Chain A
Amino acid sequence: MLTVLISGLAIGMLYASAALVYNVMYSTSKVLSVTSGHLAMLGGVFGAWFVNTLQLPWGLGLLGGIAVGALFGWLTEVLAIRRVLNRGEDHLWLLSTLALATMVQQGVALWWGTEPRPFPRLFEQNFSSGVLDQKFWLPIGMTVLMAIGLELFYRRTMYGKLFMAMSEDAFAARARGVPTDRIRVMSYVLAGGLGGLAGFAAGQLTFAYFALGLTLTLNGFIALAVGGLGSNLGALIGGTALGLLSAFASYWFGGEYQQTFAVGLLMVVLLVKPAGLYGSLKVRQV
């Protein structure tokens, strides 16, 4: 029973980190990029490649995973977002980010293979540790650290404040001299790095698997919608709720109901509180 709780919490935290990645990208561009889950997939796959295949120490593997995520985040901005936002077509970014996500998924499948491959053990630990196993605690710890780090970033650093300014009103920020295009690129690179980090931390839980991206994109979105767009605390709570609910649903009713409960949760929350638990409807004074 305890295992259900802990494994649900761990996978829920992975969803929460995907929601955090969505948040960072959303804050500066108002875009919900479908590539969010794939950043974590890249972190896991490349982390496994660096450490298992290239035999690098895991610290370098971690940096490598973050770097690959950051690079792909940058690529997302350049290829799928920049021109689309300039055109002003509503929601075309959904299609462009979906296209990029599909391309990277298939590319990884062709290179890495379609079977899940092992992710390295990062710390020496007995495999009979049950709920204390690092594969559960690494994603939980990492996501909490990420959320705390993001809050500090937003409140204490200049760039974080610029992000917040852009998310409140991009035109006003631009009018005050904020280089909004450059800030947007930065936010995508940061989001990419965070995604890669999350994927690396959760690698032992998920194995290095090419199809992880789409699952995380979808579940990360559910976590985001439940917790409220733009709220990091909401992302954590939404992810935890989703992970725990799926795990317990699977435990009590069987695996077939896992998706039913996950999407059911989303529908219930959206019916009761459309902006999510911690989201707020933006009221614009005219």
Chain B
Amino acid sequence: MKFCSTKLINSSALFIGLAIMSGAVSAQTVKIGWLSSLTGPLSSAAVAENQGVQLAVEEINKAGGILGKQIQLLTRDTGGDPTKAVNFAQQLAFKDRVEFVIGPVNSGEGLATTPILARAGVPNIIIGSVDELTDATKYPRAFRAINTNVQWISTANNYALNTLKKSKVAIIGDTSGYGTSSAKTAEELLAKAGIKPVYSVLVDPNKTDLTDEMTKARAAGADVVMPWTAATGLLARILNARGGMGWNIPVVGHPAIMAPQIKKLLNQPQYWENTYAAGYVSTSYGADGKLPERTQALVDKVRPSYGGAEIDVMFWWVALGYDTVKIIEYAAKTAGSTDPAAIQKVLENTNKFEGVYATYSWSPTKRNGFPDSNMAVNTANTFKDGSFKFAPR
């Protein structure tokens, strides 16, 4: 008995000591949860965004952290699976008790996790583009840093209708949730401009040849093709079909059509000409061939991790990841604490917070922080070192 009670006292003392210590440690860190689909679909975006997030966390921690506390980044790989995303979101909010959550990357996962994090009252920086992810009443502490899907579509529509002066639009979406809803939104936005598409179709993202759809579009008299899909295979096949048919009309659509992987999937490199996509001012080379100052500064910081070689991913992902942590830092510093209600107050009264990817503004009724003025149109085949050239205006 004596032996047992000594052991009991010793182990409970140890246990209490550890509890006090861990409690002390957690009070000395700011916990940020990061829901990222590092494996699985859209992993290339997530991996690049992760780079930006890690860089920002390191930088801030070196400079002393947020409000004197070091940032503890809890990365959770959701693998693109909404079920895993939900489980991790619950863990982060209720078990790990994080003070902020960034992500998830995929809109599909975001639609599942945003209500959960809203219920837990955890401030959530949204990086999915589907419009339903933000709502000032339903999700008061969810603030979006990326542009919305509507912004992508309107930018492309404006370019096709007003700059290229086309009026007979052919829309090609894929049968995924994103493609179906984007094709619908595109039609609605065109209708507002008084245009009805001459041809609109949804295609399986793995369909092996797009010649039939493109032939039908041509027969319907289309003078511009607008694809709304993030599937690079499908986008490459659309360009291949256009090239194989010898049909010289512009293609204007989703930013994925500028992705460097597209080039390798094309039958001929010239099939990438006369192709434009919605992009960003922050990752576009100006007339002087230079990037905006803040983007260039971040590029220089990131360069060592590429061994000095060229950046081979879309740089706006890295910039977006970096900005999400900087937004959190700004909010906490301005609020003077990480109390969720205080953070919400600060963010919803933010006007023109200058990040690298964009200059963000939110309001008590507006949770989409990306301004229309930061959208741009880029020429698809001008990828260099992570950024693009502006499309001709």
Chain A residues near B (Cβ < 8 Å)? 1, 3-4, 7, 10-11, 106, 109-110, 113-118, 127-128, 130, 135, 205-207, 209, 211-212, 215, 250-251, 254-256, 258
Contact = CB atoms under 8 A, between A and B. Distances in A.
A65 B110 CA distance: 39
Contact of A250 (B174, B207, B233, B236): B207
Given A127-B243, A250-B203, A3 B261 contact: no
A11 B212 contact: no
Given A106-B39, A109-B40, A128-B246, A3 B203 contact: no
Contact of B208 (A11, A106, A109, A128): A11
Interface residues of B, number: 33
A256 B202 contact: yes
Given A127-B268, A128-B246, A207-B265, A114 B202 contact: no
Interface string B31-43: 0000000011111
Binding site secondary structure of chain B? mixed
A113 B43 CA distance: 8
Nearest to B267: A127
Nearest to B211: A3
18 contacts: A3-B211, A11-B208, A114-B41, A114-B44, A115-B233, A116-B232, A117-B264, A127-B240, A127-B244, A127-B268, A128-B246, A130-B244, A135-B208, A205-B208, A209-B233, A254-B201, A254-B202, A258-B175
A255 B175 contact: yes
Given A110-B39, A128-B244, A250-B203, A117 B208 contact: no
Interface of B: 39-44, 174-175, 180, 201-204, 206-209, 211-212, 215, 232-233, 236, 240, 243-244, 246, 259, 261, 264-265, 267-268
Nearest to A215: B206
Nearest to A209: B233
Contacts of B211: 3, 7, 130
A10 B208 CA distance: 10
Q: Which of A135, A205, A250 has the most C-beta atoms of chain B within 10 angstroms of its own C-beta? A: A250
B40 to A, nearest CB: 7
Contacts of B259: 115
A113 B232 CA distance: 13
Contacts of A3: 209, 211-212, 215
Given A106-B39, A109-B40, A127-B267, A251 B244 contact: no
A10 B209 CA distance: 11
Given A116-B261, A118-B265, 8 more contacts: A113-B43, A115-B232, A127-B243, A209-B206, A211-B206, A250-B207, A251-B212, A255-B204
A77 B84 CA distance: 31
Contacts of A128: 244, 246
A255 B203 contact: yes
What are the 5 tightest A-B residue pairs by CB atom distance, in nearest-first order? Answer: A116-B233, A127-B267, A255-B203, A118-B264, A7-B209
A65 B226 CA distance: 37
Q: Which of B43, B203, B212, B261 has the most C-beta atoms of chain A within 10 angstroms of its own C-beta? A: B212
B200 to A, nearest CB: 9
Contacts of B207: 250, 255
